Amino acid sequence: MGLMVPITFVVAWILALTGTEAPGAVSGEAWDVNALRWMLFFTGIIFLVSSFMHSVLAKKTAESIGWVTNGFQYEIAFVSLGLGAACLYAGSNGKEAWIAVILPTFTFLFLAGVNHLIEVIRQKNYAPNNTLILIWDFGMPISLLALLISSGSL
């Protein structure tokens, strides 16, 4: 389970780099726009999976991160559900939708990564879902922002 999210990040980039048309893509779009659509698509899927994991499988998910289950997980599940739906919507739409969803997505993921990193350093929490997730938590928001800038949308 711990590898699923980082592998999804790599798959998104492979699809983008090979020029495979993303869901919602318009024929003839620039490479960076198509790549941005792939990143939004996979971010949406991962957020929806996260929503399920942090609600239906809350105890197991908390343990895999090195945490104890409590109400925080349902809050993560709720925000993940909203961001997931918004990312899927934005991926099939244009610049305004991309900007509107990338701002909270960047903030949430990047700061979640900072939190996981602090736990690695201070608490020596090397649980796979606390360490491997760093690839996603930093890689995806940086990718989204870089592609947003590259596409001239920001």
Quick: pLDDT tens for 65-121.
888 888 788 999 999 999 999 999 999 999 999 999 999 999 999 999 999 999 999
pLDDT above 80 for 2 = no
Q: Token match 């700061």: residue? A: 111
Measured distance CA(136)–CA(129) in Å, rounded: 11
Measured distance CA(142)–CA(82) in Å, rounded: 20
Looking at every residue in the chain, the average pLDDT score rounds to: 93
pLDDT at 67: 81
pLDDT at 131: 92
Taking residues 50-61, report their average pLDDT.
Answer: 90
**What is the percentage of the chain residues whose pLDDT exceeds 70?**
99
Taking residues 21-37, report their average pLDDT.
Answer: 95
Measured distance CA(13)–CA(32) in Å, rounded: 11
| Domain hosting residue 124, numbered range | 4-150
CB atoms within 10 A of CB 4: 14
128/29: higher pLDDT:
29
Query: How many domains are there within the chain?
Result: 1
Taking residues 40-45, report their average pLDDT.
Answer: 97
The model carries a pTM of: 0.91
